[in-house]
Amino acid sequence: LLSLIIYQELAKKFISVRYESSLDWISSLIQQKYHAPTTFYNHVKLYESVSFLIIDEITESISKDGVPTELERQMLFQIINKRYENSLCTLVITNRDINAVQKRLGQPTADRLSENGITLIFNWHSYR
């Protein structure tokens, strides 16, 4: 809810912002990578350059066990790293603790997300 409020407020101020559910987003990127390389390249460039990117459930995967595959981790790293290099804002949402984030995404991606970043922990019970 909070991320969508942030999204709406940024959009009202004409700041380029994207919200993506990682499960749908990663699935779409993988399909594009193998079926439409030009479309894939254009989408990656968009995600690397949008002013504010929100990725919901970043630690989850479309794989059978729910753990991001090496390909998913590489794509996330590529985008997160480029955004890091360009000092662009990235908001990631997960229900996992920091250790699980590091394990599921890999240390390099977790490092880029945490350096010069803020971690907010909401440790109350889920209302879903």
For residues 101-111, average pLDDT: 93
CA 40 to centroid of chain Cα atoms: 16
What are the tens digits of pLDDT across the range 2-52? 899 999 999 999 999 999 988 888 888 888 888 888 888 888 899 999 999
- 98: pLDDT strictly greater than 80: yes
- Bigger pLDDT: 51 vs 125: 51
What are residue 123's phi and psi, to 5 degrees? -110, 30
What the block records as the tokens of 104 is: 């599921």
Instruction: Report the distance separating Cα 49 and Cα 42, nearest Å.
Output: 11
- Give me the chain's average pLDDT, please: 89
pLDDT bracket for residue 127 (50, 70, 90): low
Nearest to 56 by CA among 111, 4, 11, 15: 4
Q: Put the strands of the sheet holding 52-56 in their side by side order.
A: 17-21, 52-56, 89-93
Q: DSSP alpha helices (H): ranges in the chain?
A: 2-12, 22-35, 37-49, 70-85, 98-105, 107-114
- Report residue 67's pLDDT band, with 50, 70 and 90 as the boundaries: confident
